[in-house]
Homo-oligomer: A and B are copies of this chain.
Amino acid sequence: MSMIRILVTGGTFDKEYNELDGTLFFKDTHINELLALGRCKIDFSVRTLMMIDSLDMKETDRQLILENCKSCSETKIVITHGTDTMVETAKVLGDNIKNKTIVLTGALIPFKFGSSDGLFNLGAAMAFVQSLPHGVYIAMNGKVFPYNNVRKNRQLGLFEEIQ
């Protein structure tokens, strides 16, 4: 059993630029590359569950994430996820899992863009998952929110407390 389980679901984080047609697409996750860049010395194991835009995420996808969180032996879990429906997934997990610390994170800019916030967010997520009590959280851009008091503000491109 590793110290931290990392579950990959896709999202902006892992988008790449297709040089043949100019579209953004998913290939492989960059999570291992980011952790290597961070010279991450904490024990972790990565599992890719899907590689999709979170706007395309269906209820069955969320159930798959939920099952993986439940069944893995680790009690500290980081999930990389598109920001658009990160709150919905966090709610499914938060309503069903109480005995683990789960941190969802993502990026506003694909990692492959030089100006991505991905490495900063991943560093924060790996820290929060070690230090926060059991519960489900969203960690983005230096802040952390409990799953039941957070929303994405699409105009500003940030997460904020509901109240």
| Structural contact, A37 and B158, CB atoms closer than 8 A | no
Q: Chain A's interface: helix, strand, loop or mixed, by majority? A: mixed
C-beta contact mask, A22-41 vs B, less than 8 Å → 1, else 0? 10100000000011011111
| A74 at the binding interface (Cβ < 8 Å) | no
Given known A-B contacts A128-B131, A132-B131, A40 and B113 have beta carbons under 8 A apart: no
Q: Distance in Å from the Cβ of A8 to the closest Cβ of chain B?
A: 17
Residues of B within 8 A of A37 (CB): 115-117, 120
**What distance in Å separates the Cβ of A2 from its nearest Cβ neighbour in chain B?**
12
Contact partner of A119 among B35, B119, B144, CB < 8 A?
Answer: B119
B interface footprint on A122-163 (CB within 8 Å = 1, 0 otherwise): 111111101110000001111110000000001101110000
Hey, which chain B residues are within 8 Å of A113, CB to CB? 17, 112-114
For the complex, give the distance between the alpha carbons of A131 and B146 in Å. Answer: 13
**A interface bracket (residues with beta carbon within 8 Å of B):** 35 or more
Whether A120 contacts B117 by the Cβ 8 Å rule is no
Please indicate the chain B residues that have their CB under 8 angstroms from the CB of A1 in the complex: none
Contact check, A142 vs B42: say whether CB atoms are below 8 A apart: yes
Give the nearest-CB partner of A121 in chain B: B123
Binding site for B on A (CB under 8 A): 12, 15, 17, 19-20, 22, 24, 34-35, 37-42, 44, 53, 108-110, 112-117, 119-128, 130-132, 139-144, 154-155, 157-159
